[in-house]
Amino acid sequence: ASSEEHAAMSSTTTTTAEAEVREPGFAAAYSRFVVKRTCCAFWLSLTVTLLLSAVGIMIAMQDAQAKGQSSILSTQTQYDWTVTGALLMKQKDMVDSALGGRDSLSDAATAVAERSEEYNPRYAFNMLYYWKDGRQEHMWTAETLQQMCEVENVILSTPGYEQVCLNATVVPFLSSLSHPPGLELRASFNGSSGVRCSLPHMSAVSLFYQQYEEPAALADDKLFEVFYGASQAKAPTQLLSEVQHTRDCALLDEGYVEARRARLYELALTSPELRAQIGFFLSSAALEDEAAPRTVATRSMISFGSPLPGFSDENDREEEQEQLVEDWALKVEQRLFDHFNMQKGLFYSAYRDPA
């Protein structure tokens, strides 16, 4: 009996195994079909994909028609590529387009004198001056201004400065104002090369190392008084040193510095416009106490001129001009490191040394 049962079990097991082999699943059957009929499988898959795509497009078109659209795409406008359709963004696009095409509207291209315009602001030297020990005292003193003057002379005396210096006759952002005859930015002049370099106008040094000017010569304009001349007695009579394009950093009269400083604070408190212009040189809380204003930090910016010699405008071979400025700036960087005795090592940047 046991032999018969064993035979029956074996027979049943064999029958079941044969049934499993004879009835493979869909995945196994399709795999065999792909292997044996590769070409047919490709065309079958492509046909099914196209049919499904067609059905999807038909559904999308029906949905668009139900929403009142004539196409599955939204109506095309000239602002398809803006991030937002806000009115302000559209107006900005129109202004940019107008500025971009203004040159083509002129009868003839206007030549730009070399270095007569300010170069891209990102290519400028920005210096921040503050007390190392954190003292809350006036930053504008005769001694500190002399030190600032000497630091900026490192830049002005770097070989090649004549090729990149700004040669402006008026402060660029004040060029739209009518200037009195003869009123222009102080400048240095190289008699042998004929190169003129205007002294940096956005420098804290320029606010004080400024020759005396009568109010009438400044057209009684407060902005002109800030950037073109000082109306205080004992203002320096000599601005330039014997070295080409550098300042005479003689120690200023302390009485003059105090008077000029008080006048600049007074002007800054006169109007929002003057506060914004002079505020560039002031610490954040300098004018909070209007009775006793005091800046504990100040800054300077030395801009380059554009276009550089040999170029027609700032867009002429732009990358080449940028490379020339960058190469010269690297020379200045090393000279500043040497001036402040800032040392670098194999894994140590000179910028980690305090100036």
The tens-digit pLDDT sequence of the chain (355 residues) is 544 544 444 444 444 444 445 566 777 887 888 888 888 888 988 999 999 999 988 888 888 777 666 676 665 555 444 455 567 667 777 777 777 666 555 544 567 899 999 998 888 999 999 999 999 999 999 999 999 999 999 999 999 999 999 999 999 999 999 999 989 999 999 888 889 999 999 999 999 999 999 988 998 899 999 999 999 989 999 999 888 899 999 999 999 999 999 999 999 999 999 999 999 999 999 999 999 999 999 999 999 999 999 999 888 999 999 999 999 999 999 999 999 999 988 888 888 888 7
- Nearest CA to 281 out of 226, 337, 352 is that of 226
Q: Residue 74: what pLDDT?
A: 61
Q: Do 55 and 125 belong together in one domain?
A: no
pTM above 0.85, yes or no: no
Maximum distance among all Cα pairs of the chain, rounded to whole angstroms: 135
- Within a domain: 93: no
Q: Do 53 and 144 belong together in one domain?
A: no
Backbone CA torsion sign across 38, 39, 44, 46: positive
Q: Do 212 and 325 belong together in one domain?
A: yes
Q: Do 175 and 59 belong together in one domain?
A: no
Tokens of 24: 């493979």
Q: What b/e readout covers 219-234, taking b as 16+ CB neighbours within 10 angstroms? A: eebbbbbbbbbbbbee
DSSP state of 351: G
- Within a domain: 21: yes
Q: Residue 28: what pLDDT?
A: 80
Q: Do 45 and 144 belong together in one domain?
A: no
Q: Residue 17: what pLDDT?
A: 45
- Within a domain: 279: yes
Q: Do 149 and 42 belong together in one domain?
A: no
- Within a domain: 71: no
Q: Residue 174: what pLDDT?
A: 93
Q: The domain containing residue 16 runs over which residues?
A: 2-66
Q: Do 40 and 173 belong together in one domain?
A: no
Of 66, 88, 108, the residue at which a domain comes to its end is 66
Of 49, 66, 83, the residue at which a domain comes to its end is 66
Q: Residue 99: what pLDDT?
A: 73
- Within a domain: 299: yes
- Within a domain: 327: yes
Domains contained in the chain, number: 2
Q: Which residues, including other chains, have CB under 8 Å from residue 145's CB and lie 6 or more apart?
A: 204, 205, 208, 209, 252, 257
- Within a domain: 241: yes
Q: Do 157 and 294 belong together in one domain?
A: yes
Q: Do 282 and 169 belong together in one domain?
A: yes
Q: Do 28 and 168 belong together in one domain?
A: no
Q: Do 260 and 199 belong together in one domain?
A: yes
Q: Residue 346: what pLDDT?
A: 81
Q: Do 230 and 307 belong together in one domain?
A: yes
- Within a domain: 101: no
Q: How far is 67 from 103, CA to CA, in rounded Å?
A: 45
